[in-house]
Amino acid sequence: MSDRSNVLTCPDCGHRTEATMPTDACQWFFECPACAALLRPLPGDCCVFCSFGEMPCPPVRQERECCT
């Protein structure tokens, strides 16, 4: 898995999807390919990768300001 790859886990059905994280923008929405649930960041998180990914987004990991 590359530095920009992350695995998102759907909170509704548990499906895991490998997705590419943007490095210059936050991704606020992601549609689960298994159940079509629309994932949105949880309160306090900047993006779906920070909420549902195996690791936070690149700006957060690099301790840079994110798109909050």
Quote the domain boundaries for residue 27: 5-61
pLDDT of the residue at 1: 58
Indicate whether 18 belongs to any domain: yes
Give this prediction's pTM.
0.84
What mean pLDDT do residues 52-59 have? 89
pLDDT digit string, tens, across residues 8-55? 999 999 999 999 998 777 899 999 999 999 999 999 998 999 999 999
Indicate whether 25 belongs to any domain: yes
pLDDT of the residue at 4: 84
Indicate whether 66 belongs to any domain: no
Report whether 59 contacts 50 (CB < 8 A).
no
3-state secondary structure the chain: CCCCEEEEECCCCCCEEEEECCCCCCCCCEECCCCCCEECCCCCCCCHHHHHECCCCHHHHCCCCCCC
Per the structure, the count of domains in the chain is 1
Report whether 62 contacts 56 (CB < 8 A).
no
